[in-house]
Amino acid sequence: MNRVCIRQSEIEGVGLIDASYANFAFRRHYHLEYHVGLIVGGAQRYHCRGASHQAAPGHLVFMPPDQLHDGQAMDGRGYQAKVFTLGARWLNRSLDELTGQKELEFKQHQVRDPELFRGLVATHSFLGSRQPATLTRDCVSLEMLEQLVSRHGRVRLRRSPKLGRRNLDEIRDYMMAHLDQSIRLADLAALCGLTEAGLTRAFKETTGLPPYAWLTRLRLEKAMQGLRQGAGVTQVAQSVGFYDQAHFSRMFKQRFGATPGQICAYAKGGRADDRL
């Protein structure tokens, strides 16, 4: 059986995922946040950066924003994972070196670091205890980040690939400003100064996805953020351009392994049936 709990911690910008996947498979997708995964049981197989990889208990898996990847269990025994989601704003406040022109990158997308792994598992449990925010909680989250960066990360100049006369960040900003509206391929092509065919080809070469699939994932990622912050399901769905609630719920569960209602219940401090 698949079980997943996705919720916001008491630290703004730090989300938590507790999951046990038996047969759920993530399709190719990307995130808007940094994801730091801890494999605590079983084994996961995923495709990333043009190659297939395996992650076993004790592995730390780092996924930066916009990194296309998938994921599934290695075999019928499934796998269990704890994940931190780290928002860009929290990182910018927490790391003085980060500005709008710089970003955090990890030297490898998967490592074994037993001491850090144990500390992160304990931190995940501590932040998930739903106790009120305290100085201790704030310091623990910063200490976690400092350990991650000092051991396995570095700060680099931000690079946003160009598509015609715009870069991917600018295209994302345009989409974000119009998520509740119909976005046409002709509009994006005009924005970039390319033909529709040229934009489609350049977009897929750059991101690994055609524009419509990339936009759908962007809508779902923003929906997840809204639900974790306590907004209602209908409000969130309409704010990101889904006006058919059944379609929204079906797409959301296919992508995240949990329903919008489950995320909403966790955000409000309640319990939800987390079986998939």
What's residue 117's pLDDT?
A: 96
What's residue 129's pLDDT?
A: 82
- 254/24 Cα distance (integer angstroms): 9
With 0.85 as the threshold, say if the pTM is over it: yes
What's residue 131's pLDDT?
A: 67
What's residue 137's pLDDT?
A: 74
How much of the chain, in percent, has pLDDT values that exceed 90?
Answer: 70
- 57/77 Cα distance (integer angstroms): 13
What's residue 134's pLDDT?
A: 74
What's residue 100's pLDDT?
A: 58
Q: Which of 113, 104, 71 is nearest to 86 (CA)?
A: 104
- 214/217 Cα distance (integer angstroms): 5
What's residue 146's pLDDT?
A: 84
- One digit per residue, the tens of pLDDT, for the chain of length 276 reads 899 999 988 888 899 999 999 999 999 999 999 999 999 999 999 999 899 999 999 999 999 999 999 999 999 999 999 999 998 778 877 776 555 567 888 989 999 999 999 999 999 998 888 665 677 777 887 788 788 888 998 888 888 899 999 999 999 999 999 999 999 999 999 999 999 999 999 999 999 999 999 999 999 999 999 999 899 999 999 999 999 999 999 999 999 999 999 999 888 775 555 555
pLDDT digits (tens, 9 = 90+) for 150-205: 899 888 888 889 999 999 999 999 999 999 999 999 999 999 999 999 999 999 99
Three-state secondary structure call for residue 52: strand
Domains of the chain: 3-157 (2.60.120.280), 162-267 (1.10.10.60)
DSSP letter string over 202-220?
A: HHHHHHSS-HHHHHHHHHH
What's residue 99's pLDDT?
A: 56
Give the contacts of 57 (CB within 8 A, at least 6 positions apart).
Answer: 39, 40, 41, 42, 43
What's residue 4's pLDDT?
A: 93
What's residue 143's pLDDT?
A: 86
Q: Give long-range contacts, CB 8 A cutoff, 24+ apart: 152-155.
A: 152/60, 152/62, 152/106, 152/107, 152/108, 152/111, 152/113, 153/104, 153/105, 153/106, 153/107, 154/104, 154/105, 154/107, 155/95, 155/97, 155/98, 155/102, 155/103, 155/104, 155/105
pLDDT digits (tens, 9 = 90+) for 89-98: 788 777 765 5
Give the contacts of 21 (CB within 8 A, at least 6 positions apart).
Answer: 2, 4, 72, 73, 78, 79, 80, 81, 257
What's residue 175's pLDDT?
A: 97
